[in-house]
Structure 1
Amino acid sequence: MSTEIAAPAERSHRFDAFADWLFRNIVTIAGWFVLIALAAAAFSMYWGGREAFEQFGLGFLWSQDWDPVREQYGALVPIYGTVVSTLIAMIIAVPVSFGIALFLTEVAPTWIRQPLGSAIELLAGIPSIIYGMWGLFVLAPFLAEHVYPRIDENLGSWPIIGPLFSGPPLGIGMLTAGIVLAIMIIPFISSVMRDVFMTVPNRLKESAYALGSTTTEVVWDIVLPYTRSAVIGGIFLGMGRALGETMAVTFVLGNSHHINASLLMPGNSIAASIANEFAEATTPMYQSALLALGFVLFIVTFIVLAIAKLMLMQLRKREGN
């Protein structure tokens, strides 16, 4: 009798062990798949761009030449445009996202928090090409007619910052691309900040209010110190999104392979260069240069995210985690 009872139990134990082994291997494969896909993408871009790297060496990174006729290529202009447009976007997006997140968690009435939060999430789901078309047909003409002439008139003659805001009001250019990028990444950063701010225990904020603190003091002394690491992570997540954006920037950046001090002038970025010119790349060296640009973008994004990770690790050490 005991043998008859033990047999089903043993079969059940073997099945549970097999199911556990299968589950562990499936999730292990899923985890390794991320690293393998990342390494494969980086290697494929490097291998595709090896001809350009062999031909131009490290000079490819700081050369401004981009002449498909003479087959002279350099990545400095796209790198410059990528970095500058991303910095403009972050300067605009971070304060706005911070204000949106604080409004939704600390100031807004309860009845408006859910609709406004849903609207922000809806903005995050809009395709980037829609932002690009809106930037080209709506934002750029408005800026060219009403904003950029006044910026040039009032700031263009200043001794230090004047060169950054002088030039013809074309509408398309580095500043326009930065504004469009900022509008694109605001939903991502603000959503992360809002979710993080909501994790702050109410008892901490209520204790501060009970001691006479204002809303501003609660935010700066309670909310931000408690969520500092996650807020920085969300900011760098938005920066990574801005660095690799393609279609929205392609519409409004201008596709100019020249470095201009003025933010009102057209420029270029790595992603926009690849999107604009890959279909026209008829020679092996031309294609290799574009793939080399993709590898450079991968490295730039990797460095930015690595810096973010190091900063978060340092913050966690200071916080004792």
Structure 2
Amino acid sequence: MAQVAVDVLPAAPARPATRRGAGRGDAIFAGLCRAAAVLVLVLLGAIIVELFLGGLPAFRAFGAAFLASTEWDPVGDLYGAGVPIYGTLVTAVLALLLAVPVAFGIAFFLTELAPAWMRGPVGTAIELLAAVPSIIFGMWGFFVIVPLMAGTVQPAIIDTLGEAPLIGDFFAGPPFGTGLFTAALILAIMVLPFIAATMRDVFLQVPGVFKESAYGLGATRWEVMRRVVLPYTRVSVVGGIMLGLGRALGETMAVTFVIGNANRIATSLFGPGNTIASLVALEFGESASGSLKLASLLALGFILFVISFAVLALSRWLLRARTGA
């Protein structure tokens, strides 16, 4: 009896039972992520509005002159933001001028020159430096750096650069040890690990074939860094520098210990001064609720936020213009 062959078609795969549940989970996860992003914007907006409303009495009382006035007279109830704005900008810019070259040198050494056994310990030490509390930097600066500046560094600079034409006024004055330059030096040490760690990490992300190709063409290490690594990592490097600048602009206690806390604009970098953060830290506890002094301090906080936002926006604009995006 002949047997009839019957082709059996493979059964269609069963739909996963959890597909509908997985879709619902994806929707929930996306909603939570969206809510987290919106929460950040809401918190940021709330801080801005609160600072602006709190400082509104000061803006109304002094007008636009509040930004340039150097007055800070609690007895006469006269306040101005000129001195702390000047001190904030000068110390932050000086800190970056001191920190960025050193941070670049550290990152270049760790990624291109250091032996393998040294990269781990040095990199860890740089990262641990970022974990030191700011008040520790302030105490160290006050008890170690200030006496060193007053006894050795400032007298030597005053006797040399202080007598030079054109730039002499920037290094003149008595060697007290405290002042804008000392505060900038402490800030440079504080922001150094952030910038150096960022540069090191982004330098390591450059594809090895890019560098090997440059070496194959006879390029030196510096030429590879300048023509290959830096162009490839430019955006991330600038982002790390801006991270350090944000830390420098808002630092409080370390600056308060060493800047001198004088409400006047000093032409010399060795002269005492104030920053927005240090002035708020010193004066906030002595301000009565609803007073014009408290409103002036809140207005200073709003100005500091605007300065930070303006610096970040400018850096993004420069990067976009440079890359043609």
Residue 244 of structure 2 is aligned to residue 254 of structure 1: no
Instruction: Give the Cα separation in 2 of the matches to 1:41 and 1:316.
Output: 33
Secondary structure class of the residue paired with 2:29: helix
The question of 1:114 aligning with 2:135 is answered: no
1:211 is matched with which residue?
Answer: 217
TM-score (norm 1): 0.94
Q: Point out the structure with max Rg over C-alpha.
A: 2
Distance 2:253 2:240 in 1: 23
Partner of 1:292, secondary structure, is helix
Q: Deviations over 1:189-210 (max 9, x none)?
A: 0011000100111111112112
Please state if 1:276 is matched with 2:282.
yes
Deviation at 1:9, TM superposition (A): 6.1
Equivalent-residue separation in structure 2 for 1:140 and 1:54 (angstroms): 40
Q: Is the 8 Å Cα contact of residues 229 and 316 (structure 1) preserved in structure 2? A: no
Unaligned stretches of 5+ residues in structure 1: 1-7
Distance between the aligned counterparts of 1:32 and 1:101, measured in 2? 36
Partner of 1:5: none
Q: Does 1:226 align with 2:226?
A: no
Question: Could you tell me how far 1:11 is from its partner in structure 2?
Answer: 6.6
CA distance in 1, matches of 2:215, 2:24: 55
The residue type paired with residue 140 of structure 2 is: W
Q: What's 2:207 paired with?
A: 201
**Contact 1:233–1:312 (CA under 8 A) maintained in structure 2:** no
Q: Structure 1 residues 218, 40: closer, same or farther in 2, change over 3 A?
A: same
The alignment's TM-score, normalised by the length of structure 2, stands at: 0.93
Residue 6 of structure 2 corresponds to none
CA offset at residue 275 of structure 1? 0.3
CA–CA distance in structure 2, aligned partners of residues 204 and 295 of structure 1: 45
Residue 18 of structure 2: SS of its match in structure 1?
helix
Task: Give 1:293 shift.
Answer: 0.4
**Matched residue SS, 1:58:** helix
Aligned partner (choices 120, 136, 141) of residue 135 of structure 1 = 141
User: In structure 2, the residue corresponding to 1:57 is in which secondary structure?
Assistant: helix
**CA distances 1:256-304 after superposition (whole Å, capped 9, x unpaired):** 0000100101100000000011111136111111010000000000000
Provide the C-alpha distance between the structure 1 equivalents of 2:121 and 2:284, rounded to a whole number of angstroms: 42
Of 173, 179, 198, the residue aligned with 1:192 is 198
Q: CA deviation at 1:312?
A: 2.1
SS in 2 for 1:258: coil
Partner of 2:37: 31
Identity %: 51
Please tell me whether residue 290 in structure 1 is matched to residue 297 in structure 2.
Answer: yes
Residues 198 and 57 of structure 1, relative CA distance in 2, 3 Å threshold: same
RMSD of aligned alpha carbons? 1.4
2:206 maps to 1:166: no
Cα separation, 2, equivalents of 1:212 and 1:52: 63
Q: Which residue of 2 aligns with 1:148?
A: 154
Q: Which amino acid is the alignment partner of residue 174 of structure 1?
A: L
Q: Which moved more, 1:307-316 or 1:265-274?
A: 307-316
CA 1:213 to 1:12, structure 2 compared with 1: closer, same or farther past 3 Å? closer
* Residue 23 of structure 2: aligned partner: 17
Instruction: Determine the C-alpha separation between the residues in 1 that align with 2:55 and 2:172.
Output: 37
Provide the rounded CA distance (Å) in 2 between the counterparts of 1:149 and 1:12.
76
Once the 2 structures are TM-superposed, how far is the Cα of residue 150 of structure 1 from its aligned partner?
Answer: 0.9
Q: Give 1:315 deviation, angstroms.
A: 3.0
Structure 1 partner of 2:312: 305
Residue in structure 2 matched with residue 241 of structure 1 by the alignment: 247
Q: C-alpha displacement at 1:138, in angstroms?
A: 0.5
Greater shift after overlay, 9-18 or 243-252? Answer: 9-18
Instruction: Tell me by how many angstroms 1:10 deviates.
Output: 8.7
Q: Distance in 2 between matches of 1:9 and 1:224?
A: 51
Tell me by how many angstroms 1:158 deviates.
Answer: 1.4
Find the aligned partners of 1:120 and 1:316 in 2 and give their Cα distance: 31
Distance 1:202 1:150 in 2: 46
What amino acid does structure 2 have at the position aligned with 1:256? A
Counterpart residue type for residue 305 of structure 1:
L
Give ranges in structure 2 of 5+ residues lacking alignment: 1-13
Give the CA deviation at 1:13.
3.7
Partners of 1:49 and 1:152 lie apart in 2 by 40
Checking the alignment, whether the CA contact within 8 Å between 1:229 and 1:315 is kept in structure 2 is: no
| Equivalenced residues, count | 311
Q: Tell which deviates more after alignment, 200-209 or 172-181.
A: 200-209
CA distance in 2 between partners of 1:170 and 1:102 (Å) = 36
Over residues 96-141 of structure 1, what are the superposed CA-to-partner deviations in whole Å (9 max), with x where a residue is unaligned?
Answer: 0000000000011111001100000000111111111111111000
Range moving further from structure 2, 90-99 or 230-239:
230-239
